[in-house]
Amino acid sequence: MQSHITGKRAAAQDAYYMKLSLDKRIRFVHEYLLAKIWYSAQIFPIPIDGMRELNTTISWYLWRGEIFRVPLSTLQRSRDAGGWNLTNVWAKSRALFIRRLRAQGQRVGTVTAAWMAKWNILTEVQNPPYPGLIPAALGYISEYVLDAAYIQNQGITESVSTYKKKIYSTLQTLSNAASTIQEI
């Protein structure tokens, strides 16, 4: 995962010299810089340091020395709310990871399904189980447990893409709430 993140910084530096408007730079971020990240994020969650590095790279690329800058959280708002629909990297990576882990947990015979059955985290849990119950080496499952408490299971008639959007919007709301609390 770290090599993908480091490679994104180099790609952003290479693309730095292209004269693009803000909307084209955001499109470049979505379609090029983050493409491999989405694939990897389904398997392992992005570490906090990696997330910080990605956000710094995206911010550096988007603003490229401009005097007037706005926070990424403002750009992540919908266009109706005064933003540019920039993808919230933390929320999307977590949404992809949660969806993939839930799918693996429902497959019979997988190691992930056995672990999830052992700690009884297959079903929706109102209060997450005590985090110390899961070994530190399986930290990604602990992270899943904490996030999954806020996300409903996929409905019977709900498509995978609709479900991913629901997970993303829930996590984006949590991310916005956390950033608001940090500002206070």
Q: What is the pLDDT of residues 140-164, one digit of tens each?
A: 777 777 777 777 777 778 888 888 8
User: What is the pLDDT, as a whole number, of residue 184?
Assistant: 56
Using a pLDDT cut of 90, give the percent of the chain over it: 1
Tokens of 168: 């993303």
Compute the distance between CA of residue 127 and CA of residue 133 in angstroms, rounded to an integer: 14
14-27: per-residue pLDDT in tens?
666 677 788 888 88
69-116: per-residue pLDDT in tens?
888 888 988 888 888 889 999 888 888 888 888 888 888 888 888 877
Q: Of the candidates 4, 2, 1, 9, which has an alpha carbon nearest to the alpha carbon of residue 56?
A: 9
CA atoms within 13 A on the CB side of 69: 13
What is the pLDDT of the chain when averaged over all its residues? Answer: 79
56 or 11: whose pLDDT is higher? Answer: 56
